[in-house]
Amino acid sequence: MVEHAVTDPRPLAAVLVSAVTVALIIASYRHPNVREGWSVLAALSKFAIVASMLPGVMDGTVYQWRLSEATGYTFVSGIDFTLRADPLGLFFALLASFLWIFTSFYAAGYMRGLDEHAQTRFFAAFAASLSTAVGIAFAGNLVTIFVFYELLSLVTYPLVAHNEDDEARVAGRKYLFYTFFGGGVLLLAGTVLVYWLTSGVGEPTLAFESGGMSALADAAAADPAMAQAAFYLLIAGFGVKAAVMPLHSWLADAMVAPTPVSGLLHAVAVVKSGAFGVARVILEVYGPETIRDLPLSVPGVGEVGLNIPVAIMAAFTLTAASIIAMRKDHLKRRLAYSTTAQLSYIVLGLSLLHPWTIFGALFHIPAHAFGKLTLFFCAGAIHVETHTDYISEMAGIGKRMPLTLSAFTIGAAGMAGMPLVAGFVSKFYMLIGSVRLEGSEWIYLDGWGWLFAATLLLSGVLNIAYFWPIVYTAFFEREDRHDAKPLVEFPIGGQFRSYTGRVADPIQPDGGRNHEVDAGAGGLEGEGETDTETDGHANHAVDANPSDADVPFGAGTRRGPRGEPVPIDSDDHAHHGGPPADGWARHTPLTESTWLMLVPITVIATGAVVLGVIPDYAIFLELAGTIVKNVTGEVVLG
């Protein structure tokens, strides 16, 4: 498809609509309904503006706005501040603006349900976050995307540190250090190197081009070592927000934020901006052919593509993060490590360079967004209605929140790549593309394609392993009789017998604390087995050896001031975690929570199914096919 650019203010309008809304939200701080109405109105307006450009973009039109044309001012010497709505940018902007509509309703229900403080600041920062996210989507060059990339880190800091306690402040500082200083410095260094490289072969440029910058391809041929360095700096800079190991630890700590923020971080804006940035670098800064023509010489191995180290890191991340997720009892932290793994699917598919893996990786962006946003929405609803955050306390909760846990099951199935849900479609294309790598021009060594395909299959099994126990305990176990959670509590390779209640190893996994336990509370005296049915589930290893920093005692109790179990009230909203003393009250889907939370959960979960059942009718599939065709020239969709 031949693209032709036209000047149009709509990319700028899409960025500004939520930026202007920040002022309106702050001005309406005395009127909560008006304040949240502005947020919803801005979400609808942003989506309408973005969607209005879809027909033209599908026909090959690129809408752009340049600062120099509008004001006569050049942002950086030789580099213009450009907003550009091309297929890849519209792909991300359409997703973010659509999901923001339902996140706005959900956030209102969540913040009101918990009577959170500083709600005006929260909604103002939330609107600013979406403004910068769309700015990243429509950025026309590396300088523009760098500006919005750094702004996104700044405006999301108040959201991460919203609780204003020590834990939130530490998490916020860590988030800024990683994403603003770490990722920003790496990205800026890579941008400067690309500018310097292209200036050596003609007019310096940082503008994105489908298939890669032609000037950079010429510069890479003249100075391959510097081109390789710039590539890895850019990938690392965007890889920080994409949470690729070892740059991932900020993401789990950021789970101290309110759940709508977690959804924003994981599904709508922040981590997706990192994955989107990796896509820009691979598809429109370097391009698959330039990356293929810049092989690395590895002693003892020979030549490997410039992309292979990135693919190896992504494969390692999606496997390791899945194993770590199995050790998490805190639901949001398990979901956080799931996000780390799922984002690496996107990075892996892009880095393999095959048209089919690229196509699968691009479609996994909305597939993961719909599925993971569903999961976080469900986690937030559980927290608001029952104050329960730990999986080990969720036995039987399915009867208390049937709709929420049913939607959670759909989201989990999508993350595991089960048929009829969006995740299956994206992972299918990545798997087939990995197999097709063997003997193709996109890989140097035999066997690599099969290795990456095996990694994808293994990760799918691990996804089932850490999601199924949540679904099982919610629907098929009783409050007073259920298995220990999490699934894995011991250091990998250890001999700790998790399900017998034995305390056989003083090593505490994942920051847990060693508690003195007697025989009646899960300990061991002599050689006899403990009676694991004495008090429901207080004998489980998850209580004696918590895999997270603060696992409560279990059903019907909470931790007292000296660590002792204290009975809790029977009212769902009066206690702090786990079922009330008399068990979960049975609710219908219409009474389990407020409509402000249930409607977004239902719509987003339905969207995940629609993307999986009839993907041909989903515009994201067609957009992904257009992007792949523009970049590689190959038609993936017939």
Q: Rg of the Cα trace of the chain? A: 25
**Helix ranges, 200-307 (H):** 214-222, 224-241, 249-253, 259-263, 270-280, 288-292
The pLDDT of residue 486: 52
Quote the CA–CA distance of 160 and 261 in Å, as a whole number.
Answer: 7
Quote the CA–CA distance of 238 and 236 in Å, as a whole number.
Answer: 5
Amino acid letter, 207? A
Q: Are 556 and 567 in contact (CB under 8 A)?
A: yes
Quote the CA–CA distance of 251 and 241 in Å, as a whole number.
Answer: 9
The pLDDT of residue 483: 65
Residues linked to residue 559 through DSSP beta bridges, in sequence order: 565
Q: Which helix (H) or strand (E) holds 303?
A: strand 302-304
CB neighbour class for 297 (10 Å; exposed up to 12, middle 13-18, buried from 19): exposed
Distances (CA, A) of 430 to 212, 424, 457, 513: 22, 10, 11, 41
Q: Are 125 and 161 in contact (CB under 8 A)?
A: no
Structure tokens at 438: 């063997």
Counting Cα atoms < 13 Å in the Cβ hemisphere of 518 gives 2
Amino acid letter, 617? Y
Q: For residue 500, give every residue at least 6 positions away whose Cβ sits within 8 Å of its Cβ, in sequence order, or none.
A: 529, 530, 532
CB neighbour class for 270 (10 Å; exposed up to 12, middle 13-18, buried from 19): buried
Residues linked to residue 168 through DSSP beta bridges, in sequence order: none
Q: How many C-beta atoms surround the C-beta of residue 63 within 10 A? A: 24
Structure tokens at 372: 């993971």
CB neighbour class for 165 (10 Å; exposed up to 12, middle 13-18, buried from 19): exposed
Question: How many residues are there in the chain?
Answer: 638
- Return phi, psi of residue 5, to 5°: -90, 140
> What DSSP letter does each residue of 109-123 carry, written as one string?
HHHHHTT-S-HHHHH
Q: Are 326 and 252 in contact (CB under 8 A)?
A: no
The pLDDT of residue 116: 82
The pLDDT of residue 484: 58
10-residue stretch averages of pLDDT, the chain, 638 residues long: 84 94 92 90 95 93 91 80 94 94 90 84 90 94 93 90 85 86 88 91 87 90 91 93 85 81 76 92 92 79 81 92 89 91 93 93 94 93 91 90 95 93 93 81 67 90 92 86 57 38 39 37 36 40 42 39 44 60 86 90 95 89 92 83
Question: Checking phi first, is residue 211 left (phi over 0); if not, alpha (psi -120 to 50) or beta?
Answer: left
> What DSSP letter does each residue of 421-439 carry, written as one string?
SHHHHHHHHHHHHHHHTTT
Q: Are 349 and 430 in contact (CB under 8 A)?
A: yes
